[in-house]
Amino acid sequence: MRIIAITAGKGGVGKTTMTANLGVSLVKMGFKTCVLDANFTAPDLAIHFGLVPEATLWDVLEGKEKIENAVYVHDCGLHIVPGSTGVEEFSRDIYKRLKRKMRTLKYDFILLDTPPGLGDDAKAALEPAREVLVVANPEWTSLGNAYKITKVAQGMKKKMAGLVLNRRLAHEYEPSSELIERFLGLPIVGEIPEDVAVRKSISLQNPVAISYPEAPAARGIEKVAAHLGGIDYRAKSGLLHRLISFLGIF
């Protein structure tokens, strides 16, 4: 079972969106996958699926529910463990309890949506994971913070799954992929283009990998999922997909 923390050195880079869509994409590829909201102060993974949970991960960690009662199965086959509907107080012990609870789960992949930033909660949330995937935007403030959280993860002896560069515009003012890899010391495992389909899917509360599977962002995330799963990725290049990309419909 691979437990991967999806992290970011700052908020607003698309970390939760990435977690939700990677989960969907891995399920599409045949992997039994669970996405788990490990952000206890501001959880919003459930929103991406239009989920209004009765039992949450917080209830499990407080001993009020069994973990199987907090697992929701989406129509696509993805398993989701949502976070609390309220604002809970962080304690480092809570992630130790989470690590113990996850031992009872049986999946190919568990993706942890962790708190963003460089605070104690963001650092502690990496503890239950064996691997860490960093999400950043192609601008220096985001990359600088990504560098810091990368060093934290490496200091904890976590295996680095790489960097996902999100909301790429491929504009001349953005740093090159080669420069970013040298700066962070991480391989870029995916470059996700800026795509209005992502915003549309969030408003629909349905991940872009489901709502607009032909969209450039969905294809980019699918490629990251294939990399994680060790699958040789072949993007669909049929007439419809080429026409959509050319017209910029999404």
Confidence at residue 250, expressed as pLDDT on a 0 to 100 scale = 43
Closest CA to 221 of 206, 232, 207, 209: 209
CA–CA dist 196, 225 (Å, integer): 21
* Element spanning 102, H or E: helix 92-102
DSSP secondary structure letters along 32-94: -EEEEE--SSS--TGGGGT---SS-HHHHHTTSS-GGGG-EE-TTS-EEE---SS-----HHH
Q: What is the pLDDT of residues 178-236, one digit of tens each?
A: 999 999 999 999 999 999 999 999 999 999 999 999 999 999 999 999 999 999 887 65
Q: Which CATH architecture has domain 2-247?
A: 3-Layer(aba) Sandwich (3.40)
Upper half-sphere CA count for residue 203 (Cβ side, 13 Å): 6
Whole-prediction pTM? 0.91
**Domain map of the chain by residue range?**
2-247
